[in-house]
């Protein structure tokens, strides 16, 4: 945090910097800082300032001091570094989970659309992690990190489907290796069902296009040059063709953020309901039959479902295959598009 202040010299990237004036001669360091308008505006109490000084966060003339009572002299250059507040550790919450498999090392969840996987600034509670902490108790603590305990891979908030979670360090280590390998040399298969606009003119294909942050819209991903992005490969196969739309089965060879959504938009077939990457295809809705149009308009999310998860158990080595049927909203969309 950097704030301009009276007698402010050059701002630092992590705190405040002031130049003491003649009237500050003999003033205690903690009092001097507490009286600075920028410190007042930052809502730092004198007791908080004292704690920061004692923690070695203050300096006079470039020399760290831990004495809140140290006297200031005119011309002293005084700095105070205020660390970012530590994020709160997620707490357990009683959130219903659809657990399709569980043993002492891992569990497999069928995640509903709308459930965020792990806490972030916009979602501090109500996440899958909060539910997992309540379900697993202390056994999950610290597995993979405090903020993302047990999480090895993630699917978007508005994507439904299968997700595997580690309950032990051994499982976390093994699953992390699997997902880092992406099924190239180790046993891992992830397949998604995706409803896209337009019927691809081929039965199957592979999209190999590097992904990185969008140049101007930082919340979005985009296909970028190899020097700016990371390798991303999506294999797709057409399952059903509805003319104005199609159902594809997508298999990932890499696991980049929003990979399927960006790749399908890149080849001109964005996901139905994807407001981020498919906004330019709203006119397609008018070409649907009334029943399908109504379902698309109330869908409220991208039509993407993690349908298949196949991997070798990280501890026992047993082959684990899980398949998830389309949830009700996407099953209704499929029926309407097919004219059933």
Do 300 and 231 lie in one domain? The reply is yes
Residues forming the active site: 156
In angstroms, how far apart are the furthest CA atoms of the chain?
Answer: 85
On whether residue 154 sits in a domain, the answer given is yes
The pLDDT assigned to 9 comes to: 32
Other beta carbons less than 10 A from residue 161's beta carbon: 26
Do 228 and 316 lie in one domain? The reply is yes
Do 43 and 171 lie in one domain? The reply is no
Could you give the number of structural domains in the chain? 3
Do 46 and 94 lie in one domain? The reply is no
Q: Indicate the residue among 153, 181, 209 that finishes a domain.
A: 181
Q: What domain range is 71 assigned to?
A: 15-81
Using CA atoms, how far apart are residues 145 and 151, in angstroms rounded to an integer? 9
On whether residue 10 sits in a domain, the answer given is no
On whether residue 1 sits in a domain, the answer given is no
Q: Indicate the residue among 45, 65, 81 that finishes a domain.
A: 81
285 touches 273 (CB < 8 A): no
The pLDDT assigned to 7 comes to: 37
Using CA atoms, how far apart are residues 174 and 313, in angstroms rounded to an integer? 8
Do 46 and 108 lie in one domain? The reply is no
On whether residue 175 sits in a domain, the answer given is yes
The pLDDT assigned to 263 comes to: 97
Do 152 and 211 lie in one domain? The reply is no
Do 259 and 273 lie in one domain? The reply is yes
Q: Indicate the residue among 81, 106, 134 that finishes a domain.
A: 81
The pLDDT assigned to 12 comes to: 37
The pLDDT assigned to 13 comes to: 39
Using CA atoms, how far apart are residues 222 and 257, in angstroms rounded to an integer? 10
Domain with 42 in it: what CATH number? 3.10.290.10
Residues 6+ apart with CB under 8 A from 147: 87, 89, 90, 118, 119, 129
Using CA atoms, how far apart are residues 152 and 129, in angstroms rounded to an integer? 12
Residue with token string 């699953």: 175
Domain with 113 in it: what CATH number? 3.30.2350.10
Q: Which pTM value belongs to this model?
A: 0.74
Buried b / exposed e over 228-265, threshold 16 CB at 10 Å, is ebeebbbebebeebbebbbbbbbbbbbebebbbbbbbb
On whether residue 2 sits in a domain, the answer given is no
The pLDDT assigned to 139 comes to: 73
Do 73 and 95 lie in one domain? The reply is no
On whether residue 145 sits in a domain, the answer given is yes
For the chain (340 residues), the mean pLDDT of every run of 10, in chain order, is 34 71 93 90 82 92 94 94 73 92 96 88 79 84 75 93 93 90 86 95 96 87 92 96 96 93 96 90 82 92 97 95 97 90
Do 139 and 252 lie in one domain? The reply is no
On whether residue 8 sits in a domain, the answer given is no
Do 30 and 120 lie in one domain? The reply is no
On whether residue 143 sits in a domain, the answer given is yes
146 touches 89 (CB < 8 A): yes
Do 144 and 24 lie in one domain? The reply is no
The pLDDT assigned to 44 comes to: 80
Do 254 and 170 lie in one domain? The reply is no
């Amino acid at each position: 945090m950097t704030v301009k202040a009276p007698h402010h010299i050059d701002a630092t990237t992590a705190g405040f910097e002031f130049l003491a004036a003649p009237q500050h001669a003999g003033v205690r360091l903690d009092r001097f800082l507490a009286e600075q308008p920028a410190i007042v505006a930052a809502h730092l109490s004198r007791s908080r300032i004292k704690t920061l000084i004692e923690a070695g966060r203050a300096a006079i003339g470039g020399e760290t001091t831990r004495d809140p009572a140290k006297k200031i002299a005119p011309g002293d250059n005084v700095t105070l570094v205020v660390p970012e507040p530590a994020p709160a550790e997620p707490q357990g919450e009683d959130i219903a989970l659809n657990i399709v498999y569980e043993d002492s090392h891992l569990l497999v969840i069928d995640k509903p659309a709308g459930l965020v996987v792990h806490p972030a600034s916009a979602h501090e509670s109500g996440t899958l992690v909060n539910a997992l902490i309540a379900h697993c108790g202390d056994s999950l603590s610290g597995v993979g990190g405090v903020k993302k305990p047990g999480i090895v891979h993630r699917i978007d908030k508005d994507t439904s489907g299968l997700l595997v979670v580690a309950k032990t360090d051994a499982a976390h280590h093994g699953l992390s290796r699997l997902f880092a390998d992406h099924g190239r040399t180790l046993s891992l298969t992830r397949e998604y069902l995706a409803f896209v606009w337009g019927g691809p003119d081929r039965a199957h294909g592979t999209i190999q296009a590097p992904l990185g942050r969008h140049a101007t819209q930082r919340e979005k991903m985009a296909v970028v040059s190899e020097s700016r992005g990371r390798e991303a490969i999506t294999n797709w196969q057409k399952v059903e063709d509805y003319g104005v739309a199609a159902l594809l089965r997508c298999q990932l060879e890499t696991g980049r953020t929003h990979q399927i959504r960006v790749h399908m938009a890149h080849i001109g077939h964005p996901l139905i309901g994807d407001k981020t990457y498919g906004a330019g295809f709203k006119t397609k809705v008018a070409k649907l039959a009334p029943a399908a149009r109504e379902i698309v308009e109330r869908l409220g999310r991208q039509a993407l479902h993690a349908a298949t998860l196949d991997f070798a158990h990280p501890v026992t080595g047993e082959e684990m295959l899980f398949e998830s049927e389309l949830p009700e909203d996407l099953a209704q969309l499929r029926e309407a598009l097919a004219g059933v």
